[in-house]
Chains A and B, each alone.
Chain A
């Protein structure tokens, strides 16, 4: 018994927190684009935040749960439904077996996450379940979901029908995460200065901060191409390749920017104008092609402070979720 992909979506993959420790083999981290939403999807169903889960783009898939399960959907709002009943995001939901999960309508965001209690039995490669599409490895054989794919769930000690009223097929559990703070001012993206920030002309620095950039439709999990006023270097720079990260803003020769995203390559040789701070990457991950971005510079101290306090909140949340689950099951 397992989950069956009845109809695949445009790009559904297995992800986790990413694959680290193998950069010297050229193996990039990958992992969920919105690491805040992905961690919460796991936490809500009582998993470790690092568990494998599904990352779904719109149009989304149709997934038949052949067994009883508890799931939580977070991130983008694609109006998720279980059979013909709409279910909320950011809340755990228990369902009876033979229920169909589908996503009829795009309301907000670019990608959503489906965490499943217990976790998914999927392929681990170099310590991570993340799907590496280029190397065709990890997750479900390294490829996006295809029709007929089956994913087994890990054993659970919880007997879910206990949560369900006799005639009901689903139950929404009465706790929820407040996420307003994280996605507030969605278009305002904080960054810290990159090593080549000061190599921009004075006029380009002003332009960069005073104008919007538009996410180009060719953007994907590797990077977002940003359309805006062309930026100029004060003098030509010859950089040899060195490491880049998730959120690095590279300046291409024609003066346009690319924001590196989860599937970015390990190294690059373009000037680094800035780096989007970790706690604003979830916002960037939920922006869509043609959306506008306004960058704002913050200090590294501020970026660290925001990250540490967000991780602290996630820990508190994890504790609270586990307590509630335990209270319900015993």
Chain B
């Protein structure tokens, strides 16, 4: 674990600790470990803890924090010290790919995989090679963000690293895409700029479930190909 981090405010009611601004499994495990450490302590006045690739952000209610913790400094200074404490005390999370593996069926055909041809052309790979590369790896869920249930998974085989589209296009729910070294699944219909390879019939986000999302940071995902006939939403 490298011993460097920066802490900075996100306005007057949130603070971020960033461990290195890169996609890296051990940094993400440390972030998750800090999130768990802080959740267990249930600090009064904390409204949310948001895990990202290499950073953790605490959203807080400055009024409650000030009142409950009798602080003389600024609320930000107090929250910063809590993050420093979390960094010093929390051990990295210890998920094992085998234990938290979610297998996700994907239909990689031209109707659903609207960018398969383009990726094939750009990367000089056949469609079968693209699918093979995409399903052969086990991916870590680094974070959920952007939309309810949108999972950021990494990292794809370097042969599949592609930049995103210049202009977002409408993307149907369930679409599986790639961008840079990331892959991910669109949980809802929305505009998006990732290169779309296929679609899963699974509902990754459903607000009527007690836990509305299927994937959480620290889970692992492996995709497997299905045919159009097997695609039953």
Contact = CB atoms under 8 A, between A and B. Distances in A.
A105 B116 CA distance: 52
Contact of B146 (A26, A142, A248, A301): A26
Given A24-B51, A267-B52, A244 B10 contact: yes
A137 B147 CA distance: 14
Given A24-B216, A278-B12, A303-B12, A241 B148 contact: no
B54 interface: yes
Contacts of A142: 207
A42 to B, nearest CB: 17
Contacts of B76: 300, 304
B220 interface: no
A311 interface: yes
Interface string A129-150: 0001011110000100000000
A241 B147 CA distance: 13
* Residue picked from A26, A137, A266, most chain B C-beta under 10 Å: A26
A307 interface: yes
Interface in A250-309: 265-267, 272, 275-278, 300-301, 303-304, 307-308
B108 interface: no
A23 B54 CA distance: 16
Nearest to B146: A265
Contact of A275 (B10, B75, B145): B10
Interface in B1-53: 6, 8-14, 16, 18, 21-23, 35, 47-53
Interface residues of A, number: 47
Nearest to A238: B21
B59 interface: yes
A326 to B, nearest CB: 25
B201 interface: no
B175 interface: no
B74 interface: yes
A21 B47 contact: yes
Contacts of B171: none
| Interface bracket on B | 35 or more
A245 B52 contact: no
A36 to B, nearest CB: 14
Contacts of B53: 240-242
B88 interface: no
B152 interface: yes
Interface string B144-155: 111111101000
B66 interface: yes
Interface string A201-222: 0000000000000000000000
Contacts of B75: 304
* Residue picked from A22, A243, A303, most chain B C-beta under 10 Å: A243
Contacts of A245: 10-11, 13-14, 59
A245 B150 CA distance: 18
A21 B149 CA distance: 14
Interface of A: 20-29, 125-126, 132, 134-137, 142, 192, 194-195, 238-248, 265-267, 272, 275-278, 300-301, 303-304, 307-308, 311
23 contacts: A23-B57, A24-B50, A24-B144, A24-B217, A25-B211, A25-B212, A25-B213, A26-B150, A132-B148, A135-B205, A136-B207, A192-B9, A194-B10, A241-B143, A241-B152, A242-B53, A243-B14, A245-B10, A245-B11, A266-B145, A275-B9, A303-B12, A304-B62
Interface of B: 6, 8-14, 16, 18, 21-23, 35, 47-55, 57, 59, 62-63, 66, 74-76, 143-150, 152, 187-188, 190, 205, 207, 211-213, 216-217
Given A20-B47, A240-B53, A308-B63, 8 more contacts: A24-B144, A24-B217, A132-B148, A242-B52, A242-B54, A243-B55, A245-B59, A277-B11
